[in-house]
Structure 1
Amino acid sequence: MRIFHVLLIGLMLSSFGAIAQNVKPLIEFKSKTHDFGTLKEENGKQVYSFEFVNKGTSPIIIKNVRSSCGCTTPDWSKAPVAPGQKGFVKTTFDPKNRPGSFNKSITVTSNSDPAISILHITGTVAPRVKTVLDSFPRMMSGLRMPNNHFPMTKVKSTEIKEASLEVYNDTDSVMTVSFRRVPAHLAIKLVPEKIAPKKRAKVVVVYDASKKNDWGFVTDYLDVLVNGKFEPRNRFTISADIIEDFGQLSKEELAKAPKLEFEERVFNFGELQQGEKAEHTFLMKNTGKSDLLIRKTKTSCGCTAISPQSKIIKAGESTELKVVFNSRGKRGRQNKRITVITNAPTSSSVDLRVMGNVVMPNAN
């Protein structure tokens, strides 16, 4: 009899446990996918609300809703949703500058079973017809353009490279465009020489790297004169990364080429009080078979001074590269770059790092 009572109590406890497990809320969405179909971009933001029902026996609490991209903004039922009651997860999709098909997910986290629900919105955005302002957002005294930058990207030191930029005359008169402060390695012209009202033209730039006499990332700034007049901020920026052309070297020449090695490439000065300086010497060695030429050394900020002991390193020899970091005006974590450009085919551009922490002096 006693055994029977023990078994009965155990069975009752198991039943209570099962009941306790079933009191979790159960979230059930009417649909987990919504297709917006084809949207016109100019119609703006589109909203859809996913409806759900609490099929469980305790309130649903939505803890978080996260979308897969910034183009989708979610909202949801903030108050607990009682058993048998309805709630929502609302999503707003912005089609601006997002032409073509889309498939975005919305992740819903709650105290329900399951704890995570994935919703989807799909559709296709029909792009709006672009206006002159869309195509040429930047303005210089009535001359419109997409931007004012000519990125030449990588240019070999013996190369001549061309780039063009489409421009638009947004005035009611014929326009001329000329340029000032043009260096010898650049040629720039407007094609055609005059732009009729509300018409397009091209600015063509020819970059002769052999005349630049420089290495690495370089930038030039040209004044733009519209109808002979210059206004502040009316400038073109022309950038290039000038590299050496090692493709012309034979196998024999490559075998005899210089090789650059550093004992270390990172200097951590630890902690400095603002205004203090840190000095370090990087040791560089030529492990190749011909002279190593240091073409250029460049820092990422004016706070770092560099002075190579020698710019020509014979085969098998070494030299020192002294670095001084000035923490004046600096605060917090620092990570500065020093770029060393050489004629070594396998390491023509090497980045060194100077890093550490700058703290404010203790106030007395």
Structure 2
Amino acid sequence: MKHLFSLLVALLVAAASHAQGVLQFEKELHDFGNVPEGTMATHEFKFKNTGNQPVIIANVQASCGCTTPDWTKTPVMPGKTGIVKAVYSSSGRPGIFNKTVTVTSNAATPSTVLTIKGNVLNKDQIKATLTPAQLAQGPKLELDRAGHDFGKMEAGQTPSARFTVKNTGKQDLVLSAVQSQCYCVGYKAVPAPIKPGQSATIELVYNQRKLGPQQEAVTITSNDMHGDAKLTLKANVVQDLNAGSMVKESGSTVPFK
């Protein structure tokens, strides 16, 4: 009887040790091949829980700031599927890339490394491979104006300027990164693709803390092989917009003492 009890305990322990979720990815490496500079190269790694317990992904850590991960946040039940998404920002990064995202979970294998790689081609390289007819079939970006002057603004404020973008080409226009030397200009919201012949409003947010007259050269990258769109933002940045009025008040005549 004692031996039978010990055997039952051993079987229960063994069963408990095998009660785990298992992350099984369809593949752990994705090669984008040639990627046009300025695009957001995106791939979803699909997985299935082939174990017998729910799997919860605790975190997904990218190897660099140029890669943004996302993943299924809810528990993945046995037999069900989920995704880990990796988005690589190719703007300003021409050449070969090889990046990883590390998936941490409560699965039997607690850590899995996924890899994305490819070769970012700048627009001149891509344009050289296209015939005039192929180039004419692509998207084409046109801005309604070449710049915006914010006038006087307070340091740390985040004013925005709206521009109208029209796609005069023959394929969907996809806007990607906003580039500036100050790293202080960005989209208020990620623009959606613009259909041929359609227009859309984009809103650029400006966050400059450097005082004095400022002039920022801004580049909007896209899948338009004709070139990137360029514009200029201007502002006169002051420490405090109320400082001038306070000085006037302090210098005014006081009728009673």
TM-score, normalised by the number of residues in structure 2: 0.48
**Larger gyration radius, structure 1 or structure 2:** 1
- Structure holding more strand per residue: 1
TM-score, normalised by the number of residues in structure 1: 0.34
Structure ranking higher on relative contact order (CA contacts 8 Å, 6+ apart): 2
